[in-house]
Amino acid sequence: MKRAFLVVTATLIAILSLSAVPLTVSWADGKVDLQKGSAWASVSMGDKLDSASTLRLAAGASVELTDGKRKVSITAAGTYQLDSLLKQGAASAKNKAGALDKLGKLVDPKASTGAATVAAVRGAAVEPAKDSVTWMSDTVDIAAVMEEGRKLVRDGDFASAAAKFDEAVYAAEGDEKVSASYAEAWALAADDSSARAVKILRGMPASGTWAAPRALLLARLDIDSGAKAEAKAVLEAANASKLFVGDDVDLAKSLLTEANAK
């Protein structure tokens, strides 16, 4: 009996140890803290933790974590247990992929999240364009840069596509800048870098040519990263402004139902 008890105990310990998935902070913005006993410690990019951890985000903060194959993003203030977020992420992956494929057609008609390249390419850091790009903006062929980005999207290299669209953002002005910003946000979302995508989308105008797709993409990513209240507010504001037409109306309704769900 004692031997059986020891075997069961050892098995339970093994299961519990396997259930804690090692994670790395791939991106952090604002005040993000990790619970350590009764205290809280600041979290930075590159920090190692696991899925049994609890994180606390201040207002305006966001964070992305990865296990090397998948990512989890948090974009709303609050306290979060990472285990539950990983489970929720697996459940919502299908809805996210469907919305991204639809909204990606505005970036490139052949855009599809199903075209993703191998994991070694995905998740690469997207560095902001250097200052040299900014002062050379008059000589940058924005259309050519955007086409390079679209080709990378078609190849499924979303991280590199986001970096290329970022070059266009820094060089462009007006509607071209907004268009490039949307493309960059979509590519980041397709690369599972939702927190970075949300930050870009929050900075885009809520009116104009790109207002409707911006609202839909932001709402989708908000829902997936814990910011349902913002998703609801964004969708209701867009509905009040009558931004949605055609199939977008149905997608907005579906997203609003998710945003209102407990």
pLDDT digits (tens, 9 = 90+) for 10-31: 443 433 345 688 999 999 999 9
Residue 51 belongs to a domain: yes
pLDDT tens by residue, 179-208: 999 999 999 999 999 999 999 999 999 999
Predicted pLDDT at 222: 96
Looking at 84, 102, 136, the residue that finishes a domain is 84
Alpha-carbon gap, residue 204 to 206, rounded angstroms: 7
Residue 145 belongs to a domain: yes
Residue 4 belongs to a domain: no
Helix (H) or strand (E) holding 200: helix 194-203
- Residue that has been written with the tokens 């247990």 in this structure: 81
Domain ranges, residue 99: 85-260
Closest by CA to 122, choosing from 66, 199, 196, is: 66
pLDDT tens by residue, 225-249: 999 999 999 999 999 999 999 999 9
Predicted pLDDT at 9: 41
Looking at 32, 49, 84, the residue that finishes a domain is 84
Strand order in the sheet with 71-74: 48-50, 22-29, 62-66, 71-74
Q: How far is CA 166 from CA 48, 172, 184, in A?
A: 28, 10, 6
Whether the CA torsion 33, 35, 36, 40 is positive or negative: it is: positive
**SS3 at position 49:** strand
Q: Give Cα 138 to chain centroid, integer Å.
A: 31
Query: How far is the first Cα of the chain from the last one, in angstroms, to the nearest whole number?
Result: 45
Predicted pLDDT at 136: 44
Alpha-carbon gap, residue 220 to 101, rounded angstroms: 12
Number of domain units in the chain: 2
204 Rama sector, left if φ>0, alpha if ψ -120 to 50, beta otherwise: beta
User: Residue 127 in contact with residue 163, Cβ under 8 Å?
Assistant: yes
Q: 121 and 68, same structural domain?
A: no
Mean per-residue pLDDT, 23-45: 95
Residue 124 has pLDDT above 90, yes or no: no
Alpha-carbon gap, residue 24 to 45, rounded angstroms: 8
Of the pLDDT bands very low, low, confident and very high (cuts 50, 70, 90), residue 262 is: confident
